[in-house]
Amino acid sequence: MALADRDYQREEYHPPRYTTKLIVVLIVAFVLQSAFHIHVTHRKVDPMKALVGQEDTGFDSFKWLGLSGDGLKHGYVWQLVTFQFLHAVPAPWHVLFNCLGIFFFGRPVEERLGGRKYLSLYFLSGVAGGLLYALMAIFVFPSRSPIPVVGASAGLYGVMAIFCMLNPMQTIMIYVFPVRAIYFFWFLAALSLYGTIVPFDSSAHAAHLGGVLVGIAYVRWFHESDRFSQWLAGLRRRRPSRPVVKVRFPKAVGGDSKTPGAVPRELGPTDFISKEVDPILEKISAQGLHSLTEREKKILEAARAKIEKH
C-alpha cells in the first residue's frame, strides 16, 4: 500500500469535478423517471410485459430508453447511451448503490486521469458493457432479448477495474472486511464472467463484464503510452475549426518602405497594417514562411519588437 501511495502522489492531480456532476445527473434522471411512472402511467410498470406487448403504457422509458437485444435489432442504437442514465424505479436502492460506487472509486480515478479521460472511459465502459449484454441476449440467451437492462453499473465496473489495476496494493473496505484492491478486482472479473456464462440472477453480468474488459484494456495497453489521450485529441481535431482571425499589429517603427532591405519609418497604425504587415501575413498564408524576403522578415521583426515593448 505504501508503494501504491507514493506512485499515486507522483501523478498530476485533477480535482474530481465531473464525478460529482455525474452523480447529480444520475439522481436527477432517477427522480424524473420515477415521477413519470407514478404521475403519467399512474401505476407500476412491468417492463417485461410492456416489451412483449401485454401491457399498454404509452411511452415507456424502459422500452425506448432501456437497452435490450430486441431494441438494438430494431435499430434503437441510442439505447447504448440512454440505458446508463436509467435505474429501477421507484425504490432508490439501485441508483444509490451505483452512485456510492461512483463516488468512492470515480473520484480517485478522475483525480489521476483527469475529467475528460475519466468520463470518456466511464461511458465507453457503459457502451461496451451494453453491447456485450445485447449480443449475448440475441445470440446466446434469446429468451432474455426482450428484457431491458438499465443502470450505471457497466460504467462503474469499468471505473472500478481501472482503480484496482492502478492501485493493486491499496486496501479497500468491503463492508467491514479489508481487502487488497487487486483481489477485489479478480473477484469482480470472475463473478461477471460466471454470470455472463451462467445467468443466475436478474443482474446484467454481461454488461458488468464489458465494463471490466474496457478497464483492463485501458490500463494494459493505453495508460502508460497515453494513446487513449492521443485518440481523444484526434477526435477533437476532427471538429470544425474556428475561422482564422487575422493578426492586427499596433503601430510599429519603420523606414522607407520603398528602399530594399530597409525597415519602414514610423507610420500610423492603419497605414502600417494595410501597407506593410497585412501583405506579408497574406503571403505567409499563401506561400509559407520560407517565401519571405529579407526586407519582409525585418518588417516582421520590427513589429514583434514593438509588441514586446508594450
**What are the distances in angstroms from CA 205 to CA 80, 165, 217, 300, 303?**
16, 20, 18, 64, 65
- 43 lies in the same domain as 160: yes
Q: What is the pLDDT of residue 293?
A: 81
The span from the CA of 53 to the CA of 75, in Å, is 18
- 255 lies in the same domain as 136: no
The residue out of 173, 203, 237 marking a domain boundary is 237
The span from the CA of 87 to the CA of 110, in Å, is 23
For the stretch 197-218, pLDDT in tens is 999 998 999 999 999 999 999 9
Q: What is the pLDDT of residue 114?
A: 93
- 61 lies in the same domain as 113: yes
CB distance 89 to 102 below 8 Å: no
The residues of the chain scoring below 70 in pLDDT are 1-12, 41-59, 226-275, 286-288, 290, 306-310
Q: Give the range of the structural domain holding residue 121, as residue numbers without chain letter.
A: 2-237
The span from the CA of 309 to the CA of 139, in Å, is 71
- 132 lies in the same domain as 270: no
**Nine-digit cell string for 278:** 497585412
pTM: 0.68
Nearest C-alpha neighbor of 155 from the set 28, 47, 23: 23
The span from the CA of 55 to the CA of 47, in Å, is 9
SS3 232: helix
- 149 lies in the same domain as 263: no
Say which CATH number the domain at 115 has: 1.20.1540.10
For the stretch 156-177, pLDDT in tens is 999 999 999 999 999 999 888 9
Instruction: Describe the crossing of helices 227-237 and 115-139 by its angle, rounded to 10 degrees.
Output: 90
